[in-house]
């Protein structure tokens, strides 16, 4: 025989546990409830012979319960404690980033967190007769909490990168809106290879020294897309036609954000068809 008592005062959580334990589909399992001085108690009794199976099934139920009812609160606690210097709106954005990562149930990180909780529960239930669920989560699941901290760090980094990206876009938008257009029309041929620039007469523009100078770029590293953007910011076209030979990606989205109504996406004109044929060959 094996009995285990779960102590907690959250009735919604306790109702969830009662339902899930009843659905464990394990014979010779009985449930009782009692309220003592400080806690409400759910006591699970098992009178069968397969003690290990009982412990595994109960641990699985408790693992799901902890992830469902505690994980988001742990995230909030970490953010409010370790990243208090962000304002409330920024902390909320970080929280949403982190929850999105945590709720990805097909990720390796999700299974790793679940395994940490499950193995700790199996060890504990095997040797003990009860626990206070809040205390177990806060003081026993060290590795689990560390994994959530790592996830919060990733969410914070994503928030900072997104914020810097938006500031970068706003800076460039402000620049082009404050300058006079230097060129009437520029065509961008965008395929899997390097972007190609054409003038309004459809002549290929060679990136000369002026365009290659990374005036508007960071000092980290440059790709052909970076140089293309830099050239466009030098040329300041009144109209920018992007001939899209592949699916839109982050670079095209960046161009759309910077140039706004000046930018037109094209997929079917003669220029598109010509360069599609060139790509095939």
Per mean pLDDT, which range of 50-59, 100-109, 140-149, 207-216 is the poorest? Answer: 207-216
User: pTM for the whole thing?
Assistant: 0.81
Instruction: Quote the CA–CA distance of 70 and 79 in Å, as a whole number.
Output: 14
Give the pair of three-digit tokens for residue 154: 């990733």
Average pLDDT over all residues of the chain: 91
| Percent of the chain at pLDDT exceeding 70 | 93
pLDDT digits over 8-41, tens only? 999 999 999 999 999 998 999 999 999 888 999 9
Name the one residue in this structure whose structure tokens are 């909320």: 92
Residue bearing tokens 């919060």: 152
Q: What is the mean pLDDT of residues 205-209?
A: 67
Q: Sign of the C-alpha dihedral, residues 211, 213, 217, 223?
A: positive
pLDDT at 219: 44
Q: List the structure tokens of 69.
A: 């009812």
The rounded distance, in Å, linking the Cα atoms of 196 and 79 is: 45
Alpha helices in 179-269 (DSSP H): 209-212, 224-235, 250-259
* All structural domains of the chain with their residue ranges: 2-171, 179-280
- CATH of the domain spanning 179-280: 3.30.420
């Amino acid at each position: 025989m094996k009995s285990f008592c779960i102590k907690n005062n959250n009735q919604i959580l306790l109702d969830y546990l009662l339902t899930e334990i009843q659905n464990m589909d394990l014979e010779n399992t009985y449930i009782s409830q009692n309220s003592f001085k400080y806690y409400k108690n759910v006591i699970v009794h098992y009178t069968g012979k397969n003690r290990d199976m009982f412990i595994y099934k109960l641990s699985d139920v408790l693992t799901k319960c902890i992830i469902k009812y505690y994980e988001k609160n742990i995230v909030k606690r970490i953010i409010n404690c370790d990243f208090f210097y962000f304002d409330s709106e920024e902390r909320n954005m970080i929280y949403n980033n982190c929850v999105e990562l945590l709720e990805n149930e097909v990720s390796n990180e999700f299974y790793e967190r679940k395994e940490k909780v499950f193995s700790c529960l199996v060890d504990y239930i095997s040797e003990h007769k009860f626990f206070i669920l809040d205390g177990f989560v806060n003081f026993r699941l060290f590795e689990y909490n560390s994994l959530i901290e790592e996830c919060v760090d990733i969410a914070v980094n994503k928030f900072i990168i997104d914020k810097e990206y938006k500031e970068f876009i706003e800076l460039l938008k402000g620049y082009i809106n404050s300058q006079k257009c230097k060129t009437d029309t520029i065509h961008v041929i965008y395929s899997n290879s390097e972007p190609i620039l054409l003038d309004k007469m459809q002549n290929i523009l060679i990136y000369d020294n002026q365009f290659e100078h990374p005036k508007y770029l960071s000092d980290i590293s440059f790709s052909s897309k970076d140089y293309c953007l830099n050239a466009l910011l030098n040329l300041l076209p009144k109209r920018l036609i992007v001939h899209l030979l592949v699916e839109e990606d982050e670079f095209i989205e960046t161009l759309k954000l910077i140039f706004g109504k000046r930018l037109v996406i094209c997929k079917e004109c003669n220029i598109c068809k010509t360069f599609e044929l060139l790509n095939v060959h």
